[in-house]
Structure 1
Amino acid sequence: MPLPSLQTVIARHQFRAKHSLGQHFLLDLNLTAKIASIAGDLAGRQVVEVGPGPGGLTRALLQTAAAHVTAIEIDPRGVAAAEELAAHYPGRLTVVAGDAMKLDVVALVPGPRQIVANLPYNVGTPLLIGWLRQAAAFERLTLMFQEEVAQRIVAAPGTSAYGRLAVLAQWTCTAALALRIPPEAFTPPPKVHSAVVRLLPHAEQPTPALLSAMERVTHHAFGQRRKMLRAALKPLGGEAFLGRAGIEPTRRAETLTVAEFDRLARLLLEGAQPEA
Protein backbone atom coordinates (compact mmCIF):
# COMPACT_ATOMS: atom_id res chain seq x y z
CA MET A 1 0.00 0.00 0.00
CA PRO A 2 1.59 3.34 -1.04
CA LEU A 3 2.29 6.09 1.46
CA PRO A 4 -0.63 8.56 1.43
CA SER A 5 0.07 12.22 0.65
CA LEU A 6 0.13 14.71 3.49
CA GLN A 7 -3.05 16.27 2.09
CA THR A 8 -4.77 12.86 2.34
CA VAL A 9 -3.57 12.45 5.93
CA ILE A 10 -4.86 15.92 6.84
CA ALA A 11 -8.27 15.20 5.33
CA ARG A 12 -8.52 11.72 6.86
CA HIS A 13 -7.70 12.87 10.39
CA GLN A 14 -9.49 16.22 10.12
CA PHE A 15 -6.29 18.13 10.83
CA ARG A 16 -7.07 21.72 11.63
CA ALA A 17 -4.26 23.39 13.50
CA LYS A 18 -5.18 24.12 17.11
CA HIS A 19 -4.12 27.52 18.41
CA SER A 20 -4.15 26.12 21.95
CA LEU A 21 -1.40 23.67 20.95
CA GLY A 22 0.65 26.28 19.08
CA GLN A 23 0.30 24.28 15.86
CA HIS A 24 1.50 25.42 12.43
CA PHE A 25 2.09 22.56 10.02
CA LEU A 26 5.03 22.49 7.61
CA LEU A 27 3.92 20.52 4.56
CA ASP A 28 6.59 21.46 2.00
CA LEU A 29 8.59 18.23 1.68
CA ASN A 30 11.54 20.11 0.16
CA LEU A 31 11.74 22.23 3.30
CA THR A 32 11.33 19.30 5.68
CA ALA A 33 14.12 17.48 3.83
CA LYS A 34 16.32 20.57 4.20
CA ILE A 35 15.68 20.69 7.95
CA ALA A 36 16.56 17.01 8.27
CA SER A 37 19.79 17.67 6.36
CA ILE A 38 20.72 20.53 8.74
CA ALA A 39 20.90 17.90 11.49
CA GLY A 40 23.88 16.39 9.68
CA ASP A 41 24.62 12.71 9.20
CA LEU A 42 22.00 10.86 11.23
CA ALA A 43 23.36 7.38 10.49
CA GLY A 44 23.06 5.23 13.60
CA ARG A 45 21.41 8.04 15.58
CA GLN A 46 18.29 7.91 17.71
CA VAL A 47 16.21 10.91 16.64
CA VAL A 48 13.46 12.49 18.72
CA GLU A 49 10.78 14.64 17.12
CA VAL A 50 8.28 16.65 19.17
CA GLY A 51 4.90 17.58 17.70
CA PRO A 52 5.00 15.74 14.33
CA GLY A 53 1.45 16.77 13.38
CA PRO A 54 0.57 15.31 9.96
CA GLY A 55 4.13 13.98 9.66
CA GLY A 56 5.95 16.14 7.09
CA LEU A 57 9.22 16.34 9.03
CA THR A 58 8.77 12.77 10.29
CA ARG A 59 8.83 11.50 6.71
CA ALA A 60 12.01 13.44 6.00
CA LEU A 61 13.69 11.99 9.09
CA LEU A 62 12.65 8.46 8.15
CA GLN A 63 14.24 8.94 4.74
CA THR A 64 17.64 9.54 6.39
CA ALA A 65 19.93 6.84 7.73
CA ALA A 66 18.73 7.42 11.32
CA ALA A 67 18.65 4.20 13.33
CA HIS A 68 15.26 5.08 14.80
CA VAL A 69 12.82 7.97 15.10
CA THR A 70 10.69 8.57 18.20
CA ALA A 71 7.78 10.96 17.66
CA ILE A 72 6.18 12.56 20.74
CA GLU A 73 2.69 13.89 20.13
CA ILE A 74 0.05 15.24 22.50
CA ASP A 75 -2.69 15.63 19.85
CA PRO A 76 -4.67 12.37 19.29
CA ARG A 77 -4.97 13.22 15.58
CA GLY A 78 -1.20 13.45 15.31
CA VAL A 79 -0.79 10.19 17.20
CA ALA A 80 -3.12 8.42 14.76
CA ALA A 81 -1.31 9.91 11.75
CA ALA A 82 2.11 8.94 13.13
CA GLU A 83 0.99 5.39 13.91
CA GLU A 84 -0.28 5.13 10.34
CA LEU A 85 3.13 6.28 9.11
CA ALA A 86 4.90 3.80 11.41
CA ALA A 87 3.18 0.94 9.58
CA HIS A 88 5.00 1.98 6.39
CA TYR A 89 8.38 1.97 8.20
CA PRO A 90 8.40 -1.24 10.29
CA GLY A 91 10.73 -0.99 13.26
CA ARG A 92 11.90 2.56 12.42
CA LEU A 93 9.28 4.77 14.09
CA THR A 94 7.99 4.73 17.65
CA VAL A 95 5.01 6.92 18.52
CA VAL A 96 4.73 8.23 22.09
CA ALA A 97 1.36 9.72 22.99
CA GLY A 98 2.08 12.31 25.65
CA ASP A 99 3.15 15.78 26.69
CA ALA A 100 6.82 16.44 25.87
CA MET A 101 6.92 18.91 28.76
CA LYS A 102 6.38 16.01 31.16
CA LEU A 103 8.62 13.43 29.48
CA ASP A 104 12.31 12.76 30.09
CA VAL A 105 13.64 12.30 26.57
CA VAL A 106 16.99 11.04 27.85
CA ALA A 107 15.31 8.23 29.81
CA LEU A 108 12.95 7.51 26.91
CA VAL A 109 15.47 7.17 24.08
CA PRO A 110 18.96 5.59 24.15
CA GLY A 111 22.02 7.36 22.77
CA PRO A 112 23.53 8.58 20.61
CA ARG A 113 20.50 10.86 20.43
CA GLN A 114 19.48 14.02 18.64
CA ILE A 115 16.33 16.13 18.69
CA VAL A 116 15.01 17.43 15.38
CA ALA A 117 11.69 19.23 15.66
CA ASN A 118 9.36 21.98 14.53
CA LEU A 119 8.45 22.92 18.07
CA PRO A 120 4.94 24.07 19.00
CA TYR A 121 5.17 27.85 19.44
CA ASN A 122 3.64 27.89 22.90
CA VAL A 123 6.13 25.49 24.57
CA GLY A 124 9.30 25.89 22.48
CA THR A 125 11.26 27.97 25.00
CA PRO A 126 10.52 25.89 28.14
CA LEU A 127 11.27 22.69 26.21
CA LEU A 128 14.63 24.09 25.12
CA ILE A 129 15.58 25.20 28.63
CA GLY A 130 14.76 21.73 29.94
CA TRP A 131 16.95 20.10 27.29
CA LEU A 132 19.81 22.54 27.93
CA ARG A 133 19.91 21.24 31.49
CA GLN A 134 20.68 17.83 29.97
CA ALA A 135 22.83 19.08 27.08
CA ALA A 136 25.55 16.48 27.65
CA ALA A 137 23.04 13.77 26.72
CA PHE A 138 22.52 15.13 23.19
CA GLU A 139 24.77 15.07 20.16
CA ARG A 140 22.89 17.92 18.48
CA LEU A 141 19.57 19.76 18.64
CA THR A 142 18.02 21.08 15.41
CA LEU A 143 14.96 23.08 16.42
CA MET A 144 12.50 25.40 14.74
CA PHE A 145 11.08 28.38 16.66
CA GLN A 146 9.38 31.66 15.94
CA GLU A 147 12.13 33.81 14.51
CA GLU A 148 12.00 36.18 17.49
CA VAL A 149 12.79 33.28 19.83
CA ALA A 150 15.51 31.98 17.51
CA GLN A 151 17.14 35.42 17.50
CA ARG A 152 17.07 35.47 21.30
CA ILE A 153 18.92 32.14 21.40
CA VAL A 154 21.81 33.28 19.18
CA ALA A 155 21.91 36.97 20.25
CA ALA A 156 25.23 38.67 21.02
CA PRO A 157 25.90 40.80 24.11
CA GLY A 158 24.83 44.42 23.73
CA THR A 159 21.90 43.64 21.43
CA SER A 160 18.23 44.02 22.31
CA ALA A 161 17.57 40.28 21.88
CA TYR A 162 20.36 39.27 24.28
CA GLY A 163 19.06 37.91 27.54
CA ARG A 164 18.81 34.91 29.81
CA LEU A 165 17.96 32.49 27.00
CA ALA A 166 21.04 33.49 24.99
CA VAL A 167 23.32 33.07 28.00
CA LEU A 168 21.99 29.63 28.94
CA ALA A 169 22.01 28.40 25.33
CA GLN A 170 25.48 29.70 24.46
CA TRP A 171 26.97 28.66 27.81
CA THR A 172 26.03 25.02 27.14
CA CYS A 173 26.11 24.92 23.32
CA THR A 174 27.40 26.49 20.16
CA ALA A 175 24.23 28.03 18.69
CA ALA A 176 23.67 29.17 15.11
CA LEU A 177 20.77 30.20 12.90
CA ALA A 178 20.61 27.67 10.08
CA LEU A 179 17.45 28.50 8.11
CA ARG A 180 14.77 31.21 7.97
CA ILE A 181 11.28 30.14 6.86
CA PRO A 182 8.48 32.52 5.74
CA PRO A 183 4.93 32.31 7.12
CA GLU A 184 3.46 31.11 3.81
CA ALA A 185 5.38 27.84 4.09
CA PHE A 186 3.05 26.80 6.92
CA THR A 187 -0.57 25.73 7.23
CA PRO A 188 -2.07 27.87 8.64
CA PRO A 189 0.46 30.69 8.08
CA PRO A 190 1.64 32.20 11.37
CA LYS A 191 1.93 35.98 11.66
CA VAL A 192 5.72 35.79 11.93
CA HIS A 193 8.71 34.16 10.26
CA SER A 194 10.20 31.02 11.75
CA ALA A 195 13.82 29.97 11.97
CA VAL A 196 15.79 26.79 12.54
CA VAL A 197 18.52 26.87 15.18
CA ARG A 198 21.29 24.29 15.35
CA LEU A 199 22.75 23.70 18.81
CA LEU A 200 25.93 21.68 19.34
CA PRO A 201 26.52 20.92 23.04
CA HIS A 202 29.99 21.77 24.34
CA ALA A 203 32.24 18.85 25.25
CA GLU A 204 32.37 20.08 28.86
CA GLN A 205 29.06 20.75 30.58
CA PRO A 206 28.33 22.43 33.91
CA THR A 207 27.50 20.36 36.96
CA PRO A 208 23.90 20.53 38.19
CA ALA A 209 25.03 22.78 41.05
CA LEU A 210 26.81 25.19 38.70
CA LEU A 211 23.83 25.19 36.36
CA SER A 212 21.59 26.10 39.28
CA ALA A 213 23.94 28.95 40.20
CA MET A 214 23.88 30.25 36.61
CA GLU A 215 20.09 30.16 36.58
CA ARG A 216 20.02 32.21 39.79
CA VAL A 217 22.50 34.77 38.47
CA THR A 218 20.71 35.23 35.13
CA HIS A 219 17.30 35.32 36.80
CA HIS A 220 18.31 38.27 38.96
CA ALA A 221 20.47 39.99 36.34
CA PHE A 222 17.83 40.02 33.59
CA GLY A 223 14.83 40.26 35.91
CA GLN A 224 15.43 44.02 36.11
CA ARG A 225 17.13 44.79 32.80
CA ARG A 226 17.11 48.57 33.18
CA LYS A 227 18.85 48.50 36.52
CA MET A 228 22.58 48.51 37.04
CA LEU A 229 23.96 45.16 38.11
CA ARG A 230 24.74 46.41 41.60
CA ALA A 231 20.99 46.78 42.16
CA ALA A 232 19.81 43.80 40.12
CA LEU A 233 22.25 41.44 41.87
CA LYS A 234 21.75 42.89 45.34
CA PRO A 235 20.14 39.63 46.58
CA LEU A 236 23.38 37.83 45.65
CA GLY A 237 25.74 40.34 47.22
CA GLY A 238 25.51 43.38 44.97
CA GLU A 239 28.63 45.51 44.61
CA ALA A 240 30.78 43.26 46.80
CA PHE A 241 29.83 40.21 44.72
CA LEU A 242 30.55 42.02 41.45
CA GLY A 243 33.82 43.38 42.83
CA ARG A 244 35.04 39.88 43.61
CA ALA A 245 34.28 38.96 39.98
CA GLY A 246 36.09 42.02 38.64
CA ILE A 247 32.92 43.38 37.02
CA GLU A 248 32.03 47.07 37.12
CA PRO A 249 28.85 47.37 39.25
CA THR A 250 27.36 50.12 37.07
CA ARG A 251 27.14 47.84 34.03
CA ARG A 252 23.83 46.31 32.94
CA ALA A 253 23.12 42.63 32.34
CA GLU A 254 22.89 42.87 28.55
CA THR A 255 26.52 44.07 28.34
CA LEU A 256 28.03 41.03 30.05
CA THR A 257 29.56 38.25 27.97
CA VAL A 258 28.73 34.61 28.55
CA ALA A 259 32.23 34.20 30.02
CA GLU A 260 31.51 36.94 32.57
CA PHE A 261 28.24 35.28 33.55
CA ASP A 262 30.18 32.03 33.93
CA ARG A 263 32.56 33.82 36.31
CA LEU A 264 29.64 35.09 38.39
CA ALA A 265 27.97 31.67 38.52
CA ARG A 266 31.20 29.98 39.67
CA LEU A 267 31.75 32.68 42.28
CA LEU A 268 28.20 32.25 43.56
CA LEU A 269 28.66 28.47 43.76
CA GLU A 270 32.01 28.88 45.50
CA GLY A 271 30.43 31.15 48.09
CA ALA A 272 27.66 28.62 48.68
CA GLN A 273 30.12 25.82 49.51
CA PRO A 274 30.61 25.02 53.19
CA GLU A 275 34.05 25.89 54.54
CA ALA A 276 36.48 23.00 54.91
Structure 2
Amino acid sequence: MTTAPLSPLPPLRDVIAKFGLSASKSLGQNFLLDEQLLDRIAAIPGSLEDRAVLEIGPGPGGLTRALLRAGARVTAIEMDRRCLPALAELGEAFPGRLRVIEGDAMAINHDELMDEPYAIASNLPYNVGTALFVGWLGGEAWPPLWTSLTLMFQQEVAQRVVAEPDTSAYGRLAVLAQWRAQPKLAMKVHRSAFTPPPKVMSAIIQLEPTTTPEGVSAKMLSRVTEAAFGQRRKMLRQSLKGVPGALEVLVQLGIDPTRRAETLSVAEFTDIARGLSRS
Protein backbone atom coordinates (compact mmCIF):
# COMPACT_ATOMS: atom_id res chain seq x y z
CA MET A 1 0.00 0.00 0.00
CA THR A 2 1.29 3.47 -0.86
CA THR A 3 0.40 6.63 1.01
CA ALA A 4 -0.11 9.81 -1.00
CA PRO A 5 1.02 13.21 0.30
CA LEU A 6 -1.58 15.89 1.01
CA SER A 7 -0.33 17.89 -1.98
CA PRO A 8 1.82 16.89 -4.97
CA LEU A 9 5.53 16.92 -4.16
CA PRO A 10 7.84 19.00 -6.34
CA PRO A 11 10.69 17.20 -8.14
CA LEU A 12 13.71 16.72 -5.90
CA ARG A 13 15.86 18.82 -8.24
CA ASP A 14 13.47 21.73 -7.64
CA VAL A 15 13.70 21.20 -3.87
CA ILE A 16 17.50 21.25 -4.03
CA ALA A 17 17.42 24.42 -6.14
CA LYS A 18 14.81 26.13 -3.93
CA PHE A 19 16.79 25.64 -0.74
CA GLY A 20 20.29 25.89 -2.28
CA LEU A 21 21.30 22.40 -1.21
CA SER A 22 24.62 21.61 -2.80
CA ALA A 23 25.98 18.28 -1.54
CA SER A 24 28.62 18.72 1.17
CA LYS A 25 31.79 16.71 0.64
CA SER A 26 32.77 17.13 4.30
CA LEU A 27 29.47 15.51 5.37
CA GLY A 28 29.83 12.67 2.85
CA GLN A 29 26.67 13.71 1.01
CA ASN A 30 25.53 12.42 -2.39
CA PHE A 31 21.87 12.97 -3.21
CA LEU A 32 19.66 10.35 -4.89
CA LEU A 33 17.01 11.95 -7.11
CA ASP A 34 15.49 9.04 -9.07
CA GLU A 35 12.09 8.57 -7.40
CA GLN A 36 11.45 5.15 -8.96
CA LEU A 37 14.80 3.92 -7.67
CA LEU A 38 14.04 5.39 -4.24
CA ASP A 39 10.69 3.57 -4.15
CA ARG A 40 12.48 0.31 -5.00
CA ILE A 41 14.89 0.87 -2.12
CA ALA A 42 12.02 1.56 0.28
CA ALA A 43 10.44 -1.75 -0.77
CA ILE A 44 13.51 -3.84 0.13
CA PRO A 45 12.65 -4.33 3.86
CA GLY A 46 9.11 -5.46 3.02
CA SER A 47 5.90 -3.73 4.05
CA LEU A 48 6.52 -0.51 5.96
CA GLU A 49 2.86 0.23 6.58
CA ASP A 50 2.68 1.99 9.97
CA ARG A 51 6.18 0.76 10.87
CA ALA A 52 8.61 3.02 12.71
CA VAL A 53 11.66 3.71 10.55
CA LEU A 54 14.88 5.50 11.47
CA GLU A 55 16.73 7.31 8.69
CA ILE A 56 20.20 8.80 9.09
CA GLY A 57 21.24 11.76 6.95
CA PRO A 58 18.08 12.31 4.87
CA GLY A 59 19.50 15.38 3.12
CA PRO A 60 16.78 16.91 0.92
CA GLY A 61 14.50 13.96 1.72
CA GLY A 62 14.61 11.73 -1.35
CA LEU A 63 14.54 8.39 0.46
CA THR A 64 12.39 9.97 3.17
CA ARG A 65 9.66 10.60 0.58
CA ALA A 66 9.79 6.99 -0.56
CA LEU A 67 9.58 5.68 3.02
CA LEU A 68 6.61 7.95 3.76
CA ARG A 69 4.89 6.89 0.53
CA ALA A 70 5.38 3.28 1.67
CA GLY A 71 3.39 4.05 4.81
CA ALA A 72 6.24 4.36 7.33
CA ARG A 73 6.40 6.63 10.35
CA VAL A 74 9.84 8.16 9.86
CA THR A 75 12.29 9.63 12.35
CA ALA A 76 15.12 11.33 10.47
CA ILE A 77 18.37 12.50 12.07
CA GLU A 78 20.04 15.31 10.11
CA MET A 79 23.04 17.38 11.20
CA ASP A 80 23.08 19.65 8.14
CA ARG A 81 20.72 22.42 9.13
CA ARG A 82 20.56 23.63 5.50
CA CYS A 83 18.32 20.60 4.85
CA LEU A 84 15.87 21.25 7.69
CA PRO A 85 13.52 23.62 5.78
CA ALA A 86 13.15 21.08 2.94
CA LEU A 87 12.40 18.33 5.46
CA ALA A 88 9.91 20.56 7.29
CA GLU A 89 8.08 21.12 4.00
CA LEU A 90 8.03 17.36 3.42
CA GLY A 91 6.62 16.85 6.91
CA GLU A 92 3.75 19.20 6.10
CA ALA A 93 2.86 17.00 3.11
CA PHE A 94 2.69 13.92 5.38
CA PRO A 95 1.16 15.30 8.62
CA GLY A 96 2.23 13.51 11.79
CA ARG A 97 4.38 10.98 9.93
CA LEU A 98 7.82 12.64 9.88
CA ARG A 99 9.87 13.61 12.92
CA VAL A 100 13.14 15.40 12.20
CA ILE A 101 15.92 15.45 14.81
CA GLU A 102 18.73 17.93 14.26
CA GLY A 103 21.93 16.38 15.53
CA ASP A 104 24.82 13.97 15.10
CA ALA A 105 23.58 10.39 14.67
CA MET A 106 26.83 9.13 16.19
CA ALA A 107 26.05 10.94 19.45
CA ILE A 108 22.37 9.91 19.78
CA ASN A 109 21.04 6.76 21.46
CA HIS A 110 18.80 5.40 18.71
CA ASP A 111 16.88 2.95 20.91
CA GLU A 112 15.97 5.68 23.40
CA LEU A 113 14.96 7.97 20.55
CA MET A 114 12.71 5.40 18.89
CA ASP A 115 11.35 3.64 22.03
CA GLU A 116 9.65 0.87 19.98
CA PRO A 117 10.77 -1.79 17.48
CA TYR A 118 12.00 0.01 14.37
CA ALA A 119 13.57 -0.57 10.99
CA ILE A 120 16.61 1.40 9.85
CA ALA A 121 16.79 2.59 6.25
CA SER A 122 19.44 5.04 5.09
CA ASN A 123 21.58 6.25 2.26
CA LEU A 124 24.34 6.54 4.84
CA PRO A 125 26.78 9.44 4.73
CA TYR A 126 30.01 7.81 3.51
CA ASN A 127 32.13 9.26 6.29
CA VAL A 128 30.18 7.69 9.19
CA GLY A 129 28.42 4.73 7.56
CA THR A 130 30.78 2.00 8.73
CA ALA A 131 30.99 3.32 12.29
CA LEU A 132 27.19 3.45 12.58
CA PHE A 133 26.90 -0.06 11.14
CA VAL A 134 29.39 -1.51 13.62
CA GLY A 135 27.54 0.26 16.44
CA TRP A 136 24.19 -1.25 15.45
CA LEU A 137 25.77 -4.70 15.38
CA GLY A 138 27.70 -4.32 18.61
CA GLY A 139 25.10 -4.36 21.36
CA GLU A 140 25.27 -7.10 23.98
CA ALA A 141 21.46 -7.33 24.14
CA TRP A 142 20.14 -9.40 21.21
CA PRO A 143 17.87 -9.41 19.33
CA PRO A 144 18.15 -5.62 19.15
CA LEU A 145 15.26 -3.17 19.17
CA TRP A 146 15.85 -2.57 15.46
CA THR A 147 14.26 -5.22 13.26
CA SER A 148 16.12 -4.73 9.98
CA LEU A 149 18.88 -2.66 8.36
CA THR A 150 18.54 -1.42 4.78
CA LEU A 151 21.72 0.54 4.16
CA MET A 152 23.48 2.07 1.19
CA PHE A 153 27.27 1.80 1.25
CA GLN A 154 30.07 2.20 -1.21
CA GLN A 155 30.01 -1.09 -3.14
CA GLU A 156 33.45 -2.04 -1.84
CA VAL A 157 32.21 -1.74 1.76
CA ALA A 158 29.02 -3.66 0.99
CA GLN A 159 31.07 -6.51 -0.48
CA ARG A 160 33.14 -6.62 2.69
CA VAL A 161 29.96 -7.11 4.74
CA VAL A 162 28.86 -10.22 2.80
CA ALA A 163 32.35 -11.62 2.04
CA GLU A 164 33.27 -15.28 2.57
CA PRO A 165 36.44 -16.44 4.37
CA ASP A 166 39.63 -16.74 2.35
CA THR A 167 38.73 -13.84 0.06
CA SER A 168 40.39 -10.44 -0.12
CA ALA A 169 37.17 -8.68 0.96
CA TYR A 170 36.71 -10.86 4.07
CA GLY A 171 37.54 -9.09 7.29
CA ARG A 172 36.23 -7.64 10.52
CA LEU A 173 33.03 -6.24 8.97
CA ALA A 174 32.04 -9.66 7.62
CA VAL A 175 32.52 -11.36 10.98
CA LEU A 176 30.68 -8.69 12.97
CA ALA A 177 27.79 -8.72 10.47
CA GLN A 178 27.49 -12.46 10.00
CA TRP A 179 27.91 -13.93 13.49
CA ARG A 180 24.32 -13.15 14.46
CA ALA A 181 22.67 -11.84 11.30
CA GLN A 182 22.28 -12.76 7.64
CA PRO A 183 23.37 -9.85 5.48
CA LYS A 184 22.67 -9.91 1.76
CA LEU A 185 23.56 -7.64 -1.12
CA ALA A 186 20.08 -6.42 -2.11
CA MET A 187 20.81 -3.99 -4.95
CA LYS A 188 23.68 -2.28 -6.76
CA VAL A 189 23.31 1.41 -7.51
CA HIS A 190 25.25 3.06 -10.33
CA ARG A 191 27.22 6.18 -9.50
CA SER A 192 25.28 8.10 -12.15
CA ALA A 193 22.13 7.86 -10.02
CA PHE A 194 23.59 10.38 -7.56
CA THR A 195 24.01 14.14 -7.59
CA PRO A 196 26.90 14.76 -7.67
CA PRO A 197 28.05 11.34 -8.94
CA PRO A 198 30.54 9.81 -6.49
CA LYS A 199 33.75 8.29 -7.80
CA VAL A 200 32.67 4.79 -6.78
CA MET A 201 29.68 2.49 -7.25
CA SER A 202 27.24 1.91 -4.39
CA ALA A 203 25.24 -1.05 -3.13
CA ILE A 204 22.46 -1.70 -0.64
CA ILE A 205 22.82 -4.20 2.18
CA GLN A 206 19.75 -5.79 3.76
CA LEU A 207 20.26 -7.41 7.15
CA GLU A 208 17.94 -8.95 9.71
CA PRO A 209 19.04 -10.18 13.14
CA THR A 210 19.13 -13.90 13.88
CA THR A 211 20.04 -15.67 17.12
CA THR A 212 23.27 -14.97 18.97
CA PRO A 213 25.67 -17.87 19.61
CA GLU A 214 25.54 -18.59 23.34
CA GLY A 215 28.34 -17.46 25.63
CA VAL A 216 29.86 -14.98 23.17
CA SER A 217 30.45 -11.37 24.20
CA ALA A 218 30.01 -8.84 21.40
CA LYS A 219 32.69 -6.69 23.02
CA MET A 220 35.13 -9.61 23.12
CA LEU A 221 34.43 -10.57 19.51
CA SER A 222 35.00 -6.96 18.47
CA ARG A 223 38.33 -6.94 20.32
CA VAL A 224 39.48 -10.23 18.78
CA THR A 225 38.56 -9.25 15.22
CA GLU A 226 40.13 -5.82 15.61
CA ALA A 227 43.42 -7.42 16.70
CA ALA A 228 43.34 -10.23 14.14
CA PHE A 229 42.48 -8.12 11.10
CA GLY A 230 44.46 -5.12 12.27
CA GLN A 231 47.52 -7.14 11.22
CA ARG A 232 45.86 -9.43 8.69
CA ARG A 233 49.10 -10.34 6.90
CA LYS A 234 50.56 -11.75 10.12
CA MET A 235 49.96 -15.15 11.64
CA LEU A 236 47.47 -15.35 14.51
CA ARG A 237 50.24 -16.01 17.00
CA GLN A 238 51.53 -12.51 16.18
CA SER A 239 48.30 -10.59 15.62
CA LEU A 240 46.57 -11.97 18.73
CA LYS A 241 49.50 -11.91 21.15
CA GLY A 242 48.24 -8.59 22.56
CA VAL A 243 44.93 -10.19 23.59
CA PRO A 244 45.48 -11.89 26.99
CA GLY A 245 44.72 -15.62 26.84
CA ALA A 246 44.12 -15.70 23.07
CA LEU A 247 47.04 -17.98 22.21
CA GLU A 248 46.01 -20.47 24.90
CA VAL A 249 42.44 -20.49 23.55
CA LEU A 250 43.76 -21.22 20.03
CA VAL A 251 45.54 -24.28 21.40
CA GLN A 252 42.43 -25.43 23.29
CA LEU A 253 40.33 -25.10 20.13
CA GLY A 254 42.90 -26.82 17.92
CA ILE A 255 43.27 -23.73 15.70
CA ASP A 256 46.71 -23.58 14.11
CA PRO A 257 48.36 -20.33 15.35
CA THR A 258 50.27 -20.03 12.05
CA ARG A 259 47.01 -19.36 10.18
CA ARG A 260 46.06 -15.84 9.16
CA ALA A 261 42.84 -14.11 10.19
CA GLU A 262 41.25 -14.21 6.74
CA THR A 263 41.28 -18.04 6.77
CA LEU A 264 39.14 -18.34 9.91
CA SER A 265 35.40 -18.86 9.59
CA VAL A 266 32.89 -16.72 11.48
CA ALA A 267 32.21 -19.73 13.72
CA GLU A 268 35.92 -20.04 14.58
CA PHE A 269 36.05 -16.37 15.57
CA THR A 270 33.00 -16.78 17.79
CA ASP A 271 34.61 -19.88 19.37
CA ILE A 272 37.71 -17.83 20.20
CA ALA A 273 35.61 -15.00 21.67
CA ARG A 274 33.60 -17.55 23.69
CA GLY A 275 36.77 -19.11 25.06
CA LEU A 276 38.15 -15.72 26.06
CA SER A 277 34.84 -14.70 27.65
CA ARG A 278 35.07 -17.77 29.91
CA SER A 279 38.73 -17.35 30.84
Mapping of residues 1-276 of structure 1, within 5 Å: 1-66=7-72, 68-134=73-139, 136-204=144-212, 210-236=217-243, 237=245, 239-271=247-279
SS at match of 1:235: coil
Q: What TM-score results when the alignment is normalised by the length of structure 1?
A: 0.94
> Residue 14 of structure 2 aligns to which amino acid in structure 1?
T
Tell me the alpha carbon deviations over residues 98-121 of structure 1, each in whole angstroms, 9 at most, x when there is no partner: 111111111101322000000001
- Asked whether the 8 Å contact 2:246–2:276 carries over to 1, the reply is no
Tell me the alpha carbon deviations over residues 65-108 of structure 1, each in whole angstroms, 9 at most, x when there is no partner: 22x10111111122221111001111100011111111111110
> How big is the shift at 1:52?
0.8
Distance 1:166 1:212 in 2: 16
More helix by share: 1
> How big is the shift at 1:62?
0.3
- Asked whether the 8 Å contact 1:229–1:238 carries over to 2, the reply is no
SS at match of 1:173: coil
How many pairs align?
269
Distance 1:107 1:198 in 2: 23
- Asked whether the 8 Å contact 2:179–2:212 carries over to 1, the reply is no
**Identity rate, percent:** 55
> How big is the shift at 1:212?
1.1
Distance 1:107 1:205, change over 3 A: farther
- Asked whether the 8 Å contact 1:29–1:56 carries over to 2, the reply is yes
Distance 2:206 2:116 in 1: 18
> How big is the shift at 1:238?
5.2
Distance 2:186 2:232 in 1: 29
> How big is the shift at 1:125?
0.2
Q: What stretches of structure 1 of length at least 5 have no aligned partner?
A: 272-276
Distance 1:110 1:64 in 2: 21
> Residue 227 of structure 2 aligns to which amino acid in structure 1?
H
- Asked whether the 8 Å contact 2:59–2:78 carries over to 1, the reply is yes
- Asked whether the 8 Å contact 1:144–1:196 carries over to 2, the reply is yes
Tell me the alpha carbon deviations over residues 198-229 of structure 1, each in whole angstroms, 9 at most, x when there is no partner: 0111133778x711110111111111111111
**What is the CA RMSD across the aligned residues, in angstroms?**
1.5
> Residue 57 of structure 2 aligns to which amino acid in structure 1?
G
Q: What stretches of structure 2 of length at least 5 have no aligned partner?
A: 1-6
Distance 1:40 1:205, change over 3 A: farther
